[in-house]
Amino acid sequence: MNINSKTKTPFPTKQQVRTFIEESDGPVGKREIAKAFNIKGANRIPLKKLLKELVVEGGLEQGRKRELSPTGTLPAVAVIEMIGLNEDGEAIAKPVNLDNDATPPIIYLVQDGNSRSKAPGKGDRLLARLSRSKDGTYDARVIRALQAATGPVLGVYTKVGKGGRVQPTDRKLKKEINIREENSEGAQSGEVVLCEILPGKTLSLPEGRVKERLGPMGDAASLSLIAIHAHGIPSEFNAATIKEATDAKPISLGTRTDLRDIPLITIDPADARDRDDAVWAAEDEDPKNKGGWQIIVAIADVAHYVRSDSALENSAKERGNSVYFPDRVVPMLPHELSSDLCSLHENVDRPVMAVQIWFDAEGNKLRHKFMRALIRSRASLTYAQAQNAWDGHPDEATEILSKDVIRPLYQAHEALKKARQKRQPLDLELPERRIEIGEDGFIKAVHKKHRFQAHMLIEEFMIQANVAAAETLNKLRRPCMFRVHEPPSAEKMQGLHEVLREMNISFAKGQVMKTVTFNRILGQSENENDKELLSSLVLRTQSQAVYSPNNLHHFGLNLQNYAHFTSPIRRYADLLVHRSLIAALKLGEGGLEEADAGDFEDIGVHISGLERRAMVAERQTNDRFTAVFLADKVGETFAAKVSGVTRAGLFLTFDDTGADALIPISTLGNDYFRFDADKHTLVGERTGQTYRLADRLTVRLKEVNIVTASMIAEVADGAVQHRPQNSGNSRRSTTNRRSGAKTISSGPIKKKKKTMPKGKKRALRKVKSD
């Protein structure tokens, strides 16, 4: 409407101004209205009054720029979201961030015929310039596409008003996600949800849309599901994979070696979910090998059932390994195989890849032989059962096996221990814990794992089988997926050198590192604190073990040839080694295809990444179960060890549960603490109060967040049990002003230069897995 003319125009009525505003393409301001009606000078004052009256009367609203538009009208520039195509094939959208409950108007996307950009799809968000039509619809011309945020994000939903918010379970994501009612999928407070971040810039909370509801946070099953979804771990098998597994059948002897008369047994944890290895030992009957031993390690023949280019193969490769949570296992293979046909249950025939190994009286390997065989396990024992039988306390199941089956296993192990001692693998004492799940699905108790000789026996037998596999493939120059553990770098050794110097333990810089050197260092610890400190520091210097077709040796085990052979049910790397052995030794069908051998480099990188993913997911789930277990114990005190020292504060490991917690640096005392990365210490500038790695503390649990599985603690009594310091350092007794507890500090006390930094970001200890 253009009412402007050179002739004198009468002052407009309210209805004329209202009609002009309603018929305009977008919001209009006082200047545009004055120009349209040729209002000048003093007449602008009554126009201002008229516009205010129109807003008060209703039907019009004033925007942030004091522009007027009909109530519910969209701004001239807005973020829109594509809905799809209507019946006429026109692209339609809806506005984002409407501030009222009105039905959103229809927006038609005006396509630019000259544009070469990709047409937007359903759910895409665009910044567009809008023009309003008389029928209440809008035309939108795209200014730019808004980049979608990466996702999805897992979190816990809480209702807020008509919509809600999602607190991410990933503690790295600090902001909650705002969920509008129409994007909530009916989620209820306390539910674990999977949501996507909607594109668009925001100065406050990001906007999201719930894609999947996983169940209430209070449900124990949700605790594992959080890790499964957060890390993208495949938890369901497709129909083709299930069909191949269910179609699989037990096999007959055929051309296999018949070992069913050999009394092999399995020894596993009490809660074992699969049984993929069986063992046997006997004295070597060769008179030339007096005091020598022979053993058989039989491993489930997974390669017989999982063939190249099959659905089972694709699923196993996609997963890389089984993932073990406190309440469930996400298997690499369907349970028809992993828990049945490929599990070496007692008194049933099972196909295996077996290796027979001969040793002299000192445990040195003389020779070995691989075979494809059929076995019938005599018993499925636990570690405790086997150990009790060896200690002279057999039960009903082991009494008949004690003399002729269990005793030879332990006697053979005594010989192998001699060779192991000479080899000097890295000997770290790292406590392990087992989570016991109650009938309700939550933690009933946390137990320290007892390490019997039975554990070490099975471990050494498996190592010998793994060595034999790697040696065979290396000798025949056939593809092998080696388990590689490289020596520590010089950079990582620097921090260890600094601490050793404080402890008066000699350690020459620049020397070639060997496992025997580390073991010598560990042997010089004078007390339990020192031993824990040195074990922690030595572990931190180690590199991450990986899979590779390049034989770079295994530093930690001090072995030149090493591969994983003993767990093809749960590790894809072992399956590859089985296939390569079958092809190299001409042991029948299911061997490695030549085309697959060329992919070993890429596969090694792939499965190493999947292994790290599984380890992180398992650790985070254990943390979350433990957080739920301790949630009602806030305010109680616990014995703990300092497991990490950083600028953020002290990371702790609780003695009884193995739970991890943080003491923020801002709560350590009325002092400014200096962080020494090499010495792993926090030292108060004014008081000299010192906290060190492996210090013992009594702490009070202050806060538990079960969503992020994080815990905050504080020093309860201030009494810190330190490791002894080098007597050559300057020493001084100081008193903690908060608790009165005396501690020993080394080095000069610096004058206070700054006030203590206030709040630090929360963090949880990142444990290096080897």
Minimum mean pLDDT range among 92-101, 481-490, 737-746: 737-746
More confident of the two residues 328 and 526: 328
Q: What string of DSSP letters covers 342-395? A: TS--BTSEEEEEEEEEEE-TT--EEEEEEEEEEEEBS-EEEHHHHHHHHTT---
563: confidence class by pLDDT, cuts 50, 70, 90: very high
| pLDDT confidence of residue 71 | 66
Three-state DSSP string of 477-491 = CCCCCEEEECCCCHH
Instruction: Kindly report the number of other CB atoms within 10 A of residue 628's CB atom.
Output: 18
Residue closest to 460 by CA, chosen among 537, 533, 559, 544: 559
Distance CA 286, CA 275 (A): 32
Q: SS3 of 230, please?
A: helix
Residue closest to 582 by CA, chosen among 416, 370, 326: 370
- List, for residues 574-617, the tens digit of each pLDDT value: 999 999 999 999 999 999 998 888 899 999 999 999 999 999 99
Phi first, then psi, for residue 744 (nearest 5°) are: -105, 130
Mean of the pLDDT values across residues 182-199? 89
Which contiguous run of DSSP H or E holds residue 651?
A: strand 649-654
Is there a contact between 656 and 255 (Cβ–Cβ < 8 Å)?
no
Is there a contact between 446 and 658 (Cβ–Cβ < 8 Å)?
yes
Sign (positive or negative) of CA dihedral 227, 763, 431, 768 = positive
More confident of the two residues 256 and 103: 256
Rg (CA), the chain: 35
More confident of the two residues 116 and 508: 508
Instruction: Kindly report the number of other CB atoms within 10 A of residue 689's CB atom.
Output: 26
| pLDDT confidence of residue 201 | 57
| pLDDT confidence of residue 723 | 53
Instruction: Kindly report the number of other CB atoms within 10 A of residue 667's CB atom.
Output: 18
7: pLDDT strictly greater than 90 = no
755: pLDDT strictly greater than 60 = no
Is there a contact between 226 and 709 (Cβ–Cβ < 8 Å)?
no
- List, for residues 348-399, the tens digit of each pLDDT value: 999 999 999 999 999 999 999 999 999 999 999 999 999 999 999 999 999 9
Helix and strand numbers (H, E) in the chain are 17, 35
Phi first, then psi, for residue 345 (nearest 5°) are: -70, 155
| pLDDT confidence of residue 758 | 35
Distance CA 592, CA 721 (A): 56
Please provide the distance, in angstroms rounded to a whole number, between the alpha carbons at the two ends of the chain: 76
Mean of the pLDDT values across residues 270-286? 92
Percent of the chain's residues with pLDDT above 90: 46
Q: What is the pTM of this model?
A: 0.72
Length of the chain: 770
Is there a contact between 418 and 363 (Cβ–Cβ < 8 Å)?
yes
State the average pLDDT for the chain.
Answer: 84
Mean of the pLDDT values across residues 31-48? 81
Q: Report CA-CA distances (Å) from 412 to 28, 59, 277, 360, 465.
A: 93, 93, 17, 10, 14
